[in-house]
A and B are shown apart, each in its own frame.
Chain A
Amino acid sequence: EDKVVQSPLSLVVHEGDTVTLNCSYEVTNFRSLLWYKQEKKAPTFLFMLTSSGIEKKSGRLSSILDKKELFSILNITATQTGDSAVYLCAVEARTNAGKSTFGDGTTLTVKP
Chain B
Amino acid sequence: DVKVTQSSRYLVKRTGEKVFLECVQDMDHENMFWYRQDPGLGLRLIYFSYDVKMKEKGDIPEGYSVSREKKERFSLILESASTNQTSMYLCASKVFGGLNGGYTFGSGTRLTVV
> A: which residues have CB within 8 A of B?
31-32, 34, 36, 41-46, 48, 50, 88, 90, 92, 94, 97-105
Contacts and interface: CB of A to CB of B under 8 A. Distances in A.
Overall SS of chain A's interface: strand
B41 A43 contact: no
Interface residues of B, number: 27
Given A45-B103, A94-B98, A99-B33, A104 B42 contact: yes
A104 B107 contact: no
Interface of B: 31, 33, 35, 40-45, 48, 50, 56, 58, 90, 94, 96-99, 101-108
A41 B102 contact: no
Contacts of B101: 45, 48
A101 B35 CA distance: 10
B108 to A, nearest CB: 5
